Amino acid sequence: MARTVTTRQKALNTTLAWAIGLLIFFPILWTILTSFKTEGQAISDPPIFLFFDWTLENYAIVQERSDYLRFLTNSVIIAVGSTLLGIVVAVPAAWSMAFVPSKRTKDILMWMLSTKMLPAVGVLYPIYLLFIKLGLLDNRWGLVVVLMLINLPIIVWMLYTYFKEIPGEILEAARMDGATLREEILYILTPMAVPGIASTILLNVILAWNEAFWTLNLTAAKAAPLTAFIASYSSPEGLFYAKLSAASTMAIAPILIMGWFSQKQLVRGLTFGAVK
DSSP 3-state assignment of 98? helix
Region near another protein per CB under 8 A, out of 52-60, 92-100, 181-189, 231-239: 181-189
- Out of 16, 17, 134, 170, name the contact with another protein by CB under 8 A: 170
Q: Which is nearer to another protein, 119 or 178 (CB)?
A: 178
Alpha carbon distance 165, 97 (integer Å): 13
For residue 180, the 8-state DSSP code is -
Q: Which is nearer to another protein, 175 or 268 (CB)?
A: 175
- Out of 27, 46, 167, 236, name the contact with another protein by CB under 8 A: 167
Angle between helices 194-210 and 263-270 (to 10 degrees): 110
**175 counts as binding another protein under rule CB under 8 A:** yes
Question: Measured from the CB of residue 182, what is the shortest distance to another protein in angstroms?
Answer: 11
- Out of 119, 126, 191, 236, name the contact with another protein by CB under 8 A: 191
**183 counts as binding another protein under rule CB under 8 A:** yes
Alpha carbon distance 132, 109 (integer Å): 31
DSSP 3-state assignment of 218? helix
Question: Binding-site residue total for another protein (CB under 8 A)?
Answer: 18
Question: Measured from the CB of residue 166, what is the shortest distance to another protein in angstroms?
Answer: 9
Alpha carbon distance 218, 143 (integer Å): 8
Strand partners, 275: 272
- Out of 133, 169, 260, 275, name the contact with another protein by CB under 8 A: 169
Q: Which is nearer to another protein, 127 or 192 (CB)?
A: 192
Region near another protein per CB under 8 A, out of 34-42, 53-61, 156-164, 179-187: 179-187
Q: CB 236: neighbour CB atoms within 10 A?
A: 5
- Out of 121, 176, 221, 275, name the contact with another protein by CB under 8 A: 176
Q: Which is nearer to another protein, 90 or 188 (CB)?
A: 188
φ, ψ (nearest 5 deg) of residue 272: -55, 130
- Out of 20, 56, 172, 271, name the contact with another protein by CB under 8 A: 172
Alpha carbon distance 99, 153 (integer Å): 18
Q: Do the beta carbons of residue 161 and residue 90 sit within 8 Å?
A: no
Question: Measured from the CB of residue 266, what is the shortest distance to another protein in angstroms?
Answer: 21
Alpha carbon distance 71, 16 (integer Å): 39
Alpha carbon distance 243, 39 (integer Å): 8
Binding site for another protein (CB under 8 A): 167, 169-170, 172-180, 183, 187-188, 191-192, 194
